[in-house]
Structure 1
Amino acid sequence: MIFQWYPGHMTKAKRMMQEDIKLIDLVIELVDARIPLSSRNPDIDNLGRNKARLILLNKCDLADEHANKRWMEYFRNQGHHVLEINSKSGKGIKDINRTVLEACKEKIERDRRKGILSRPVRAMVVGIPNVGKSTFINSYAGRACTKTGNKPGVTKGKQWIKIAKNLELLDTPGILWPKFDDQAVGLRLALIGSIKDDILNIDELAVALLKFLHANYTGLLASRYDMEEQDDMVQNLQGIARSRHCLLKGGEFDISKAANILLDDFRSGKLGRITLEYPE
C-alpha cells in the first residue's frame, strides 16, 4: 500500500505560513507522542530556522511512558524546548507559559534594551493533520477559539488568538508534505489517523498494526480481545472478529469490521499506551 495525501489546500497553507513566519518569534510544533519523529513535517525545520522552537509531545497519555522520556531527552539534545502534554485533560498546559518565556528570553531581552516593553511574543502553532492543534489552543486559551474534530483537515485557514497580554498565537492548518520518502512514515501517519481513512485499505492497515503489536507488545491482543494470539495476522483479525461478534450473513467473519475496531481501539487508547517508534 502506497501512503500519500496532499490535497490542494495544503499547498495554499504552506505558502501562507511562509508569508507569516516573518511576524513570528516562536514556532510551537505539536507532534503525536506515539510517533514523534514521523509526525514532524520536515518543511517546518526550514520554515522555522532562526526562530525559537517549542515541541509539544501531545497525546502523551496514549504513548508508552518510558518512550516519552526518551523522546524528551532526544529533542532536548537537538537544542529544542520540549514538554509532554495532553490537550484534552490539560496535562502540561500550565507549564507552557514559563517555557515560552524561557524560549524567547533573548528576544524579550533585546526588546527591553530597545525600550520596547509591551510587544507580545508571537507564536505560530504548527503540526500535521489530526495532531490536536485546535484542542491544544482551546485548552491553552481556556475557551473555545477554534473548531475541533477527530479527523484531519478541520482547520482550513489561519487565525490569531490572544492568550495573554504578552502572548499571541497564530493557528495554522495541519499540513503534510508532498512525498513520503520513507513509506514507514506514511504507515505510521495512517495508523494515527493523519491520512484520511477514505483513501486507505483499512484491512491492510490493521494487519500492519497487528504485526507491530505482535512483535513489540506481546500478549496485548490476547488481553484486550480474550483470544489466543497467533503468528498469522489474518487469524488474529479473525480472533478479534470472533471476540466482537463481527459476522456476515452465513456466519463468515467480517474482517473489515474487525479491522476498524482494532484501529479505533488503538487510536482511542483502549489498547493501552503504545508508541510506534523510538529514538535511534
Structure 2
Amino acid sequence: MINNKIQWFPGHMHKARKEIEEVVPKIDVIIEVLDARIPFSSENPLIRTLRGDKPVIKVLNKRDLADPAMTDIWMAHLEQEQGVSAMAITTQQQSEVNRIMERCRALAPHREAMGKNIRSMIMGIPNVGKSTIINSLAGRVIAKTGNQPAVTRQQQRINLQNGVVLSDTPGILWPKVENPHSGFRLAATGAVKDTAMDYDEVAFYTVEYLASAYPERLQERYQLDDLPETEIELMEAIGAKRGCLRAGGRVDIHKASEILLHDLRAGALGGITLEAPDMIETELVQVEEETARREAEKAANKEARRKRYLKNKR
C-alpha cells in the first residue's frame, strides 16, 4: 500500500464549493469534464454529492492522449450510474466539442419545449481542459486557459446564444485524496501544481505502471532494448539515454523524471490510460481496509491512554 499522499486544496477552492452548492438547484444539466487518461482519479466525489439527482454529462476530454480501447471501457462503466451520460472528445475537433450541447438538449428536452434556455453548469478539477471547452462552445475567448492548474478563480455565467446558458465554475479538487494511487495519477497528468509534488516520486510511480501496462511504448520512446527490473534502474536508463548526466557520469534522476512526465503529458508516449475500472475496485478495497486499520489503531491508542490515566489517578 502506498503511503504517500499528494494533497492540494487552496482557499479559493473551498469558496468555490460553497458557491456551487448555492447555484446547483437552479441547474438543469451538469457537465463534468474528466481527463480521459484518469477518468476515476479526475472525477471529483464532491460533484456526485453536489449534483443530487441532476443529469450529468461525463466528458472524457483529451481522448487523443488516452488509450482508445480503455476510453470505451470507461464510458460504458460510467454510464452504469443512474443519470450519467458519457462521451469522449478532444478540443482539437470542434465538432466533438459541439456534441456536448446536443447532449444537453437530449437530457433537458422539457426546457426547449417550454421555449426556455437550458441551464447548464460545467465543472471539473484543475487542468482537465474545461476553459478550452468553454471558449470553443462560445466561439470566443471567455475563460482563461493555461497549462497550470487553477487558472479559473471565480464563477461566471455565459449565454451561448443557442438555447443553452453555461455557468462556469473554478476547478476544484477535494480536500483529501483518499486513494494514494489517485494522488500520483493526478500529479503525473498535471492536475496539481508541480510545486505541490515530488517529481521523482511521481515519476517512479508512473514509470512502474508504464513498464507493466505499456512496456513497448517505453522501449520505443527511449530506445531501450530491455526494461530494467526496478523503477529506479528504469529511470536511470531513461536518463542515460537522454543525456541527464551529472559530474562523474551519474544520472540526474530529477531531470530524467521531468522528461518522462513531460512526455506523458504531451502524448509523446502515445495514447496512454493510467487506470482501469477493475484496478480502481481493488484499490478502493485496499483504501477501505487501510482506513479500518487506522481507525482500530486510533481506538486502541485512545483506550491505552485512558487506562494509563485511570491507573495514574489511583
Specify whether residues 165 and 233 from structure 1 end up closer, same or farther in structure 2 by C-alpha distance, changes over 3 A only: closer
Deviation at 1:89, TM superposition (A): 3.7
Partner of 2:168: 171
How many Å apart are 1:91 and its aligned residue? 5.5
The whole-number CA distance in structure 1 between the counterparts of 2:50 and 2:227 is 46
User: 2:124: which partner in 1?
Assistant: 127
Q: Name the aligned partner's letter for residue 142 of structure 2.
A: C
CA contact (8 A) 1:85 1:91 kept: no
The equivalent of 1:139 in structure 2 is: 136
AA at the equivalent of 1:55: K
- Out of 192, 195, 199, the position equivalent to 1:195 is 192
Q: Which of 207, 211, 224 is 1:210 aligned to?
A: 207
CA RMSD, 1 decimal: 1.4
Q: Return 179-188 or 243-252, whichever deviates more.
A: 243-252
**Residues in 1 aligned to 2:109 and 2:147: alpha-carbon distance in whole angstroms:** 35
Q: Which runs of 5+ in 1 are unaligned?
A: none
Structure 2 residue matching 1:126: 3-state secondary structure: strand
Find the aligned partners of 1:147 and 1:170 in 2 and give their Cα distance: 15
Which amino acid counterpart does residue 26 of structure 2 have in structure 1?
A: L
- 2:87 counterpart (74, 83, 97): 83
Match of 2:265 in 1: 267
Measured against aligned partners, the alpha-carbon deviations of 1:70-90 in whole angstroms (never above 9, x if no partner) come to: 112112222312211112443
Q: Deviations over 1:145-178 (max 9, x none)?
A: 1100011110001111121241111111000111
Return the letter of the residue paired with 1:40: E
Tell me whether 99-108 or 183-192 shows the greater mean CA deviation.
99-108
Question: Which of the numbers 62, 66, 71 marks the counterpart of 1:68?
Answer: 71
Aligned to 2:16: 13
Instruction: Pick the aligned partner of 1:96 from 92, 95, 100.
Output: 100
Q: CA deviation at 1:94?
A: 2.8
Is the contact between residue 88 and residue 135 of structure 1 (CA under 8 Å) also seen in structure 2? no
Superposed displacement of residue 239, structure 1: 1.3
Q: 1:107 to 1:279 in 2, by over 3 A?
A: farther
Residue 37 of structure 1 is matched in structure 2 by 40
Structure with the higher fraction of residues in helix conformation: 2
- Aligned residue among 219, 222, 245 for 1:222: 219
1:279 aligns with 2:283: no
> What is the deviation of 1:107?
4.2
Question: What is the CA–CA distance in structure 2 between the aligned matches of 1:177 and 1:51, rounded to whole Å?
Answer: 20
Alpha carbons 1:27, 1:125 under 8 Å: kept: yes
Could you state the TM-score of these two structures normalised by the residue count of structure 1? 0.93
Deviation at 1:135, TM superposition (A): 0.7
Structure 2 residue 109 is the aligned partner of structure 1 residue 105: yes
AA aligned opposite 1:272 = G
Find out whether 1:52 has 2:55 as its counterpart.
yes
Q: Distance in 2 between matches of 1:12 and 1:120?
A: 27
Aligned residues: 273
Q: 2:178 aligns with which of 178, 181, 185?
A: 181
**For the Cα contact (< 8 Å) 2:60–2:86, is it kept in 1?**
yes
Query: What's the secondary structure of 2:186's corresponding residue?
Result: helix
SS in 2 for 1:78: coil
1:26 aligns with 2:29: yes
Question: 5+ residue gaps in structure 2?
Answer: 279-314
Q: Secondary structure at the match of 1:130?
A: coil
Matched, 1:257 2:261: no
In 1, the alpha carbon distance for the partners of 2:34 and 2:143 equals 18
Tell me if the contact between 1:88 and 1:139 (Cα under 8 Å) persists in the aligned partners: no
Secondary structure at the counterpart of residue 119 of structure 2: strand
2:112/2:163 contact within 8 Å kept: no
Contact 1:76-1:82 within 8 A present in 2 as well: yes
Contact 1:206 1:259 in 2 (8 A): yes
The aligned amino acid for 2:104 is V
